[in-house]
Structure 1
Amino acid sequence: MTALDSTHAGSEPSAKGGLTRLLGNRVVRFLFAGGVSTTVDMGTLYVLHGVSHVQLALATFGAVLAGFVTNFLLNRLWAFESTSPIGGQTVRYLVMAGGNWIGTVLLVGGLVKMGVYYLIARALVLGVLSVANFLGYKHWVFKTS
């Protein structure tokens, strides 16, 4: 190793250190939890309906429930590291979920009436509600006492 090598040794962050810092970011953990939850939802739907031939409505209900539970637990335990009582958090989470559903239907419908292509409208609403969810989870649902 030359003097030049030793000057730069350790100056570059390791990939492991960078990943640790990245996963230490609450926003990244929140987004990752959303991705995992979506994967669980879609995977459950595929297994229940596509493989096991469960009726679509029942399979969809089971898939959404699995995704909701996954999302709630990942956000509670990992993204927001909450230790507050779970009962109140569950109620607040469900209130937000209901608000999201209603908001999504109204906002997507409104944007489409204004001439926005429905998939673009859905993507825009998803982005806006993701920000709202993060703030709602941080300051209300999983707020530490």
Structure 2
Amino acid sequence: MKIEKAHPHHYAELLNVWENSVRATHDFISEEDIAFFKPIIIEQAFPAVSLHYAKNIDNIIIGFVGIHENKIEMLFVIEAAQGKGIGKLLLQYAIDNYAVNCVDVNEQNPNAVGFYQHFGFQVTSRSPLDDLGKPFPILHLSR
């Protein structure tokens, strides 16, 4: 599977991946939270990072990673493709091509925390609120 650079015309499809993944893995996030975050993701978060995606054999985006400097700002994989190596592929791409060595993860998403720890990331600190001041504790990891 090949990783490709995303462009603004991919944003709608990437947002669908984000929403599908969040619904599958972030059971602590409400429908109101999803509605709140969607415009921020597409209007602010996507343009602020270097986005790269993976497609399946049907040419549908199934996962993406957003990178800023040496940090993964977002990594999401659709529910149907989780546990099949797509996240690992995107993470390895970020490490190999951007020297990524840090990531922030929702503390309430233990699968994501375990995923990054499996690849050598360790918790270095914790914030009780997310970047927007919402009560979603964030773990800061580095490798």
Larger Rg: 1
Q: Taking structure 2 as the reference length, what is the TM-score of the superposition?
A: 0.30
Q: Flag the structure with higher strand content.
A: 2
Could you say which structure has the higher helix fraction? 1
Highest RCO, 1 vs 2 (Cα 8 Å, sep ≥ 6)? 1
